[in-house]
């Protein structure tokens, strides 16, 4: 690849006759002269082109660096043939040297999202100029990761759909982010952001739809923000985890019918989930559950065999 160091704004044109028309007899000569001038110009500009890639005489060590926000960074640029000038073009830490075959670019504490630095060399022989761009990734772990239920508070009802949201504050670069959703220790979903391009810190979120069942009563949901920065990045990938969100699920607690008579105007019973029962009464008022037990208030009423039980 060759990119000229400058572009020519206009080219001199052969003078025309006073009447503004070139005679047909002269037109062939004019075209030959113009082609010759263009060829000379192309040869002249080739000496001032910058090449990169395989044809370049520069090597970066390392060629890709992954730097944490506020950390130091140092990269060497090495020329493989005699050079007039060797240097770095960068918003921070620019440097150059004459005739030395190595020049270093470095920053003690990198906190700015800058354009990728470029090492350039001006040589004695063609190609006269060569450049290599550093693949620089500056990353920042999020300030916070949190999880919440959208437009809902309190217990959830079995069979109803709910939306959970995970919010990530000030993370960069977002295209390397993977948000992982967990129920307990099991990963249930992950969300990547590779289609986003900002390098600077941003706020992003991910949603998870759930339809809880009775088996999920007391389950904990959490999300983890993970920056997968490649082999040059930290291993294992840095993670920030949200505080788990515990959900309570209300559901009809009975699955079979038994005959049992309750005495007294008001009875309070503790029903274990492991052995559900149905009482032969007509009215049940359910309350909150604690410590994996369910409590119900039973209003006095004449027993009815296998009366249906109403929960919620």
Q: How far apart are the first and last CA of the chain?
A: 72
In a 3-state reduction of DSSP, which class is residue 190? Answer: strand
**Domain 144-250: which CATH number of 1.10.150.120, 2.60.40.10, 3.40.50.300, 1.10.10.10:** 2.60.40.10
Give the pLDDT mean for 237-243. 96
Domain 50-139 top-level CATH class: mainly beta
Question: What gap in Å lies between CA 76 and CA 87, rounded to an integer?
Answer: 10
Q: How far is CA 62 from CA 66, 124, 294, 302, in A?
A: 10, 26, 63, 85
* Residue 11 clears pLDDT 60, i.e. is over it: no
Write the pLDDT tens digit of every residue in 187-221: 999 999 999 988 999 999 999 999 999 999 999 99
Residues 306 and 279 sit within 8 Å (Cβ to Cβ):
no
Question: How many other C-beta atoms lie within 10 A of the C-beta of residue 215?
Answer: 10
Q: Give which of 49, 129, 126, 53 is closest to 89, Cα–Cα.
A: 129
Predicted pLDDT of residue 99: 87
> pLDDT: is 209 or 3 the higher one?
209
- Is the backbone of residue 55 left (phi > 0), alpha (psi -120 to 50) or beta? alpha
The pLDDT value recorded for residue 82 is 93
**Percentage of residues in the chain with pLDDT exceeding 90?**
56
> Which run of H or of E encompasses 42?
helix 24-46
pLDDT for 33 equals 58
Q: What is the pLDDT of the chain when averaged over all its residues?
A: 76
Beta-sheet strand order (sheet of 202-210): 144-149, 162-171, 202-210
Local structure of 98: helix, strand or coil: strand
pLDDT tens digit sequence for 242-294? 999 999 999 886 444 444 444 444 444 444 444 443 333 334 444 444 444 44
The pLDDT of residue 71 is above 70:
yes
Q: Give long-range contacts, CB 8 A cutoff, 24+ apart: 260-268.
A: 261/303, 262/298, 262/300, 262/303, 264/300, 265/300, 266/297, 266/298, 266/299, 266/300, 267/298, 268/295, 268/296, 268/297, 268/298
Q: Of 4-13, 27-36, 87-96, which one has max mean pLDDT?
A: 87-96
pLDDT at 270: 42
The structure's pTM equals: 0.65
Q: Which residues pair with 103 in a beta bridge?
A: 77
pLDDT confidence of residue 223: 97
Closest CA to 283 of 270, 266, 274, 271: 266
The pLDDT value recorded for residue 98 is 87
């Amino acid at each position: 690849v060759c990119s000229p160091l400058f572009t020519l704004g206009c080219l001199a044109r052969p003078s025309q006759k006073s009447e503004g028309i070139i005679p047909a007899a002269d037109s062939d000569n004019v075209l030959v002269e113009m082609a010759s001038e263009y060829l000379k110009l192309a040869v002249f500009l080739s000496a001032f082109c910058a090449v990169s890639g395989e044809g370049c005489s520069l090597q970066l060590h390392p060629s890709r660096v992954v730097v944490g926000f506020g950390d130091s960074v140092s990269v060497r640029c090495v020329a493989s043939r005699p050079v007039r000038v060797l240097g770095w073009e960068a918003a921070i830490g620019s440097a150059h040297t004459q005739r030395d075959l190595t020049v270093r670019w470095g920053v003690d504490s990198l906190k700015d999202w800058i354009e990728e630095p470029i090492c350039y060399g001006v040589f004695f022989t063609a190609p006269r100029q060569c450049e290599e761009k550093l693949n620089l990734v500056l990353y920042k772990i999020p300030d916070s990761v949190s999880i919440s239920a959208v437009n809902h508070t309190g217990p959830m009802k079995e069979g109803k759909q709910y939306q959970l949201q995970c919010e990530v504050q000030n993370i960069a670069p977002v295209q390397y982010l993977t948000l992982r959703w967990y129920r307990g220790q099991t990963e249930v979903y992950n969300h990547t952001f590779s289609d986003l391009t900002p390098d600077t810190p941003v706020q992003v979120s991910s949603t998870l739809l759930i339809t809880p069942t009775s088996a999920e009563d007391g389950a904990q949901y959490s999300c983890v923000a993970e920056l997968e920065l490649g082999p040059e990045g930290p291993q294992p990938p840095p993670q920030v985890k949200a505080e788990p969100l515990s959900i309570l699920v209300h559901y009809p607690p009975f699955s079979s019918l038994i005959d049992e008579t309750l005495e007294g105007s008001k009875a309070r019973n503790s029903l274990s989930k492991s052995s559900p029962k149905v009482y032969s009464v007509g009215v049940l008022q359910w309350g909150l559950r604690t410590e994996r037990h369910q409590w119900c208030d039973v209003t006095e009423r004449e027993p009815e065999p296998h009366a249906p039980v109403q929960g919620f």
